[in-house]
Amino acid sequence: NAGVMQNPRHLVRRRGQEARLRCSPMKGHSHVYWYRQLPEEGLKFMVYLQKENIIDESGMPKERFSAEFPKEGPSILRIQQVVRGDSAAYFCASSPRQGNTEAFFGQGTRLTVV
Amino acid sequence: AQSVAQPEDQVNVAEGNPLTVKCTYSVSGNPYLFWYVQYPNRGLQFLLKYITGDNLVKGSYGFEAEFNKSQTSFHLKKPSALVSDSALYFCAVRDEDNQGGKLIFGQGTELSVKP
């Protein structure tokens, strides 16, 4: 059973470009979470999705950021018109359900905006 | 609102000595508590969790954690530290009443184990 797969591992974008980060959850997991980690900081929650639904996007910036988890295919975190402050590590996690189960994390995508 | 605090940014321990990484939490309902470890340039790895039952929880790599409801704490412990335990440790909470289901993380504690 493959773990949570994120790609690309490293992504370099120029200011103003779009960044697309992909996350394939573990098999059988229908809950996906995205987190952002800035250097020397902890993990900040961004968005929680189930298949075809956004459950909680309270941590998502109101502009330029969007996320989806379609019925088929990976979850996508999309950042439009990137700025230098978007440079960070973005982690995806998945779990089979809510409640008392742990979430499993991918290796992350390190976004660098130049 | 639920929250987690890790009061120490860094913990330094000599190899072979016991280690403790502190965590306190605040939730409105029953807490589900987790510890994760992050090695450089890697994702988070699950160590252990407290759901209910015995207050002392055993996890991976010889780690354990003690749940204390009256002190709202969930400290991570290991009887004898290894140099390879050096990493960033995160405590997290999931509130049973939080329908969102997301994990809320502390800011992390850097553990350094010296030979």
Bridge partners (DSSP) of residue B3 are B26
Separation between Cα atoms, residue B74 and residue B94, nearest integer Å: 13
State the best of A6, A56, A60, A105 to mutate against chain B, taking most chain B CBs within 10 Å: A105
SS3 readout for A30-81: CEEEEEEECCCCCEEEEEEEECCEEEECCCCCCCCEEEECCCCCCEEEEECC
Residue A67 has pLDDT above 80, yes or no: yes
Q: What is the pLDDT of residues B11-21, one digit of tens each?
A: 999 999 999 99
pLDDT at residue B31, as a whole number: 85
SS3 A110: strand
Single out the residue of B42, B27, B13, B21 nearest to residue B107, CA to CA: B21
Q: Which residues of chain B have pLDDT under 50?
A: none
Give the residue with greater pLDDT, B42 vs A24: A24
Q: Is the pLDDT of residue A99 over 70?
A: no
Average pLDDT rounded to a whole number, residues A57-75? 94
**Of residues B45, B51, B104, nearest to A100 (C-beta):** B51
Q: B102–A45: do the CB atoms touch at under 8 Å?
A: yes
From the list A42, A56, A104, which residue is nearest B106 (CB)? A42
Q: How far apart are the first and last CA of chain B?
A: 41
Name which of A46, A49, A95, A98 to mutate to probe chain B: the one with the most chain B Cβ atoms within 10 A of its Cβ: A98
Determine the distance in angstroms separating the CA of B106 from the nearest CA of chain A, rounded to an integer.
7
